[in-house]
Amino acid sequence: MAGTGTGHLRDEAVLRVVDLVVEFPAPRRRVVHAVSGVSFDLDRGETLGIVGESGCGKTTTGRAVMQLEHVTSGSIELNGTDLANLKGEKLRQARRAMQMIFQDPVSSLNPSRRVRDIVREGLEIWGTTQGAFREGWVDDIMESVGLGDPGVGARRPHEFSGGQCQRICIARALVMDPDVLILDEPVSALDVSVQAQILNLLEHLKSKFGLTMLFISHDLAVVKNISDRVMVMYLGKVCEIAETDQLYDRPTHPYTRALLASIPGHTLDLPLASELISGELPSPLDPPSGCRFRTRCPRASERCAVEEPVLVETEPGHWVACHHPA
């Protein structure tokens, strides 16, 4: 499994990540290879879904893009500015064009502050708007996310449900009018019925505000419904990236096929998931040589052990990193 290469990157994009590497120190002078040479881009108004099982590096990728994790190497260009080479106040100024929504909405809110203060805090810190205009903008955003009822802004987070808290988090991010919105498993902590409400809300907000989103999730059904393109990750690498319909209708990488085969009630002509993948996820402390998926892949050959596959375009816009694609 994958995959290096930058051939799939487009010339102009609001966000362009090239050869991103994130490593963490471990005991006995070992290294956790969390993200290893990941490259992707985002056009304005596009939603890119990042999907993969736990431990694939998708959340670390999102946090590294936001510069919440130290980047070992690679570049993260936001509107042409490489955030990986900025520090201090310059990074702080450049990064305000991105906002992040986290997995657990309740713990990401200050329990001692009122909702309205939480939402408008970013505007107060940056001083981007003043007086009545600021309050009007906050009112518009809260109304857009379904928090427009009188009295809502005076309450505190513990008085709301998980879904309502996630709406507060979305409002807090949108009030800054970000160029890129990063969502890290934004519905995985919510009930199924509430998940649908939040996803519908995000679709509405994307249309209304022209949002550019990086949507991280392990749920393939959720990613399919909200994404324009999908990138599949495994053990810190990219194995496949394509437009949503291409990837879900014609999965090419063995790992992608295994993921889709595991969806209950899928209509694809695929073998059982157990026939497409076996064994346990290798440790990121000592990832396999060559193709990282080879230890679990029924198609693996000797070539897979010694040569890392490069992303290759199998059809327009559909890129796969595999020596033996389906």
- Predicted pLDDT of residue 263: 83
Cα–Cα distances (Å) from 200 to 23, 42, 178, 190, 320, in that order, read: 36, 21, 20, 14, 30
Q: Could you read off the pLDDT of 49-88 as tens digits, one per residue?
A: 999 999 999 999 999 999 999 999 999 999 999 999 999 9
- Predicted pLDDT of residue 230: 97
- Predicted pLDDT of residue 118: 96
- Predicted pLDDT of residue 165: 95
Answer whether residue 97 shows pLDDT above 80.
yes
Cα–Cα distances (Å) from 124 to 90, 117, 118, 184, 209, in that order, read: 19, 9, 10, 25, 21
Q: Could you read off the pLDDT of 161-184 as tens digits, one per residue?
A: 999 999 999 999 999 999 999 999
Residues 34-53 as b or e (16 or more Cβ within 10 Å = b)? bbbbbbbbbeeebbbbbbbb
Task: Tell me which H or E stretch contains 16.
Answer: strand 15-26
Listed by start position, the domains of the chain span 1-97+227-326
Domain at 1-97+227-326: CATH code: 3.40.50.300
Q: What angle, 0 to 180 degrees and rounded to 10, lies between the N-to-C axes of helices 162-174 and 192-209?
A: 20
- Flag the least confident range among 71-75, 126-130, 136-140, 260-264: 126-130
Q: Could you read off the pLDDT of 202-231 as tens digits, one per residue?
A: 999 999 999 999 999 998 889 998 999 999
- Name the DSSP letter for residue 4: B
Task: Name residue 107's amino acid.
Answer: S
- Predicted pLDDT of residue 276: 85
Q: Could you read off the pLDDT of 109-123 as tens digits, one per residue?
A: 999 999 999 999 999
- Predicted pLDDT of residue 314: 94
- Predicted pLDDT of residue 129: 63
- Predicted pLDDT of residue 1: 42
